[in-house]
Amino acid sequence: MSSPIIYDVAIIGGGAAGMMAAGTVAESGANIVLIEKNDRLGKKLLITGKGRCNVTNNDQDVKSFCDKFGSSGKFLYSSLYQFGVNDVINFFSKYGVKCKIERGNRVFPESDKAQDILNALIVFLRETSVNILLKSAVKSIKLEKNSIFKLLIEDGREIVSRRIIICTGGKSYPTTGSNGDGYKWIQDFGHSLVPLKPVLVSVKTKEKFVKDLQGLSLKNVKISIIQNDRKIDDRFGELLFTSQGLSGPIVLDLSKRISELLISGPVKIVLDFKPALDNKSLDLRILRDFKEQANKEYKNSLSMLLPKKLIPVIIDKSGINPVKPVNSITKDERKKLLHLLKEFSLTIDEVDGFSKAIITSGGINLKEITPTSMESKIVKNLFFAGEIIDLDGPTGGYNLQLAWSTARLAANNCLKGTINEKGKD
Ligand SMILES: Cc1cc2nc3c(=O)[nH]c(=O)nc-3n(C[C@H](O)[C@H](O)[C@H](O)COP(=O)(O)OP(=O)(O)OC[C@H]3O[C@@H](n4cnc5c(N)ncnc54)[C@H](O)[C@@H]3O)c2cc1C
């Protein structure tokens, strides 16, 4: 029986990080294999940015970029300096995918197609002659006495490699293949796991009437999160009503904080539908609208102020008789309306789970990874990249940049100190 191929590097997980890592290592001529459980690569990548793939964020300052990941963000300095935002944009441009910058510095392919980003990566893998094994779920990994990693595939095959890069992602949206498999193996290797939480998730409200607003997207609103009558945080931007609550970038970005707060009690979200106007200016605006429509019924008088879907809810909550002529609305009634527009309060029941989370927070403890190489401090020749590490950023392209940058760093370091020549080590 012929002895098995011993690969120089095995990369587990064919998502954003795994594909970038595989192509990069293969550029050195090393004998590598990319192992993916699905029957195709990049399943999650295809649904990013609602199918448009917000590939990075044009936040050019490395410190400011890393700060978006919180106090541990400095872990990313080396990877960002080595392969930053412009490198990502140039990489995809080299493969024919031009990018554009949108609101909030979000970078998307000009075509608005995540498929184009995936296609570029597939060409990269082809060009660098990466061996790709699809439909190959890794079940377990053993480190043999001769410092070789033995990977057992679910169907009984074995893959042998001198080094491995684990890029199996988090455990959010498990239908894409990222169901948390990698966490088991890293714990078997002696790594500790920072507890996992679903983040960048929608929130559910106690108030069921939100269902009537489902699909309503408001571009310029302010939300504040309140607990025990104390304002904890706020955001300005885009909000979306869902069948059970709220979503959209500003809610997703606050969802981690909300889920932490929910542990100690109820949380309120207060919506300001007119953040550009203070109370006095808004009152004048309402008065002006009412004057112009003096003979209309109240229920027909708000179309200049609010989107159609929101009007019945506001009418109902204001307690003002819907058929009352606008010119007989009292000052107190107008005050009630104004209060609703500036401080529309909803109570948060819970946040959605892993099945609908954009990102998993928690993961491999950063203290156990060398930030300048992405190598494990516990097991030599074991590397990590992507969402599996304990870092999560806000919406806006930050999380994919993390995947590209850490993958590149791991790939560029996993062969260091060896002869990068095919067949030799
Ligand atoms: C709906 C949605 C929208 C998003 N939109 C954006 C966006 O626009 N911009 C942004 O920056 N981020 C976005 N993200 C986050 C982004 O997708 C992730 O940060 C990124 O995909 C992480 O890359 P990764 O390679 O680490 O993991 P993944 O992309 O999750 O890839 C992991 C791969 O490993 C494979 N795998 C897992 N276990 C095994 C195993 N046992 N054997 C073999 N293979 C295995 C999986 O099948 C998967 O293909 C979005 C996420 C979601 C869910």
CA of 16 to the centre of ligand 1 (A): 6
**Predicted local confidence at residue 3, as pLDDT:** 74
CA of 57 to the centre of ligand 1 (A): 17
Please state the pTM of the whole predicted model: 0.91
What confidence tens digit (pLDDT) does each residue in 113-124 have?
A: 999 999 999 999
Of 48, 69, 140, 391, the one to substitute when testing ligand 1's pocket (max ligand atoms within 8 A of C-beta) is 48
Taking CB atoms and a 6 Å cutoff, what residues make up the pocket around ligand 1?
12-18, 35-38, 43-45, 47-49, 53-54, 137-138, 167-169, 172-173, 177-178, 181, 358-359, 386-387, 397-400, 403
What confidence tens digit (pLDDT) does each residue in 217-254 have?
A: 999 999 999 999 999 999 999 999 999 999 999 999 99
Between CA 25 and CA 28 the distance in angstroms is 6
**6-198+360-413 CATH, one of 3.40.50.620, 3.30.1330.40, 3.90.1150.10, 3.50.50.60:** 3.50.50.60
Nearest CA residue ID for atom 5, ligand 1? 48
The atom of ligand 1 lying closest to the CA of 54 is: 8
Per the CB < 8 A criterion, the answer to whether 72 and 393 are in contact is: no
How many beta carbons lie within 10 A of that of residue 79, not counting itself? 26
The atom of ligand 1 lying closest to the CA of 173 is: 53
Between CA 258 and CA 251 the distance in angstroms is 9
First to last CA, the chain: 24
CA of 268 to the centre of ligand 1 (A): 31
What confidence tens digit (pLDDT) does each residue in 401-418 have?
A: 999 999 999 999 999 866
Token code pair at residue 296: 């209309």
> C-alpha angle 389/394/399, rounded to 5°?
45
Per the CB < 8 A criterion, the answer to whether 400 and 54 are in contact is: yes
Between CA 346 and CA 208 the distance in angstroms is 10
Which sequence spans correspond to the domains of the chain?
6-198+360-413, 202-352
Per the CB < 8 A criterion, the answer to whether 76 and 101 are in contact is: no
> Does the pLDDT value for residue 424 go beyond 90?
no
> Does the pLDDT value for residue 266 go beyond 70?
yes
What confidence tens digit (pLDDT) does each residue in 11-39 have?
A: 999 999 999 999 999 999 999 999 999 99
202-352 domain in CATH 1.20.1050.10?
no
> Does the pLDDT value for residue 420 go beyond 60?
no
How many beta carbons lie within 10 A of that of residue 354, not counting itself? 20
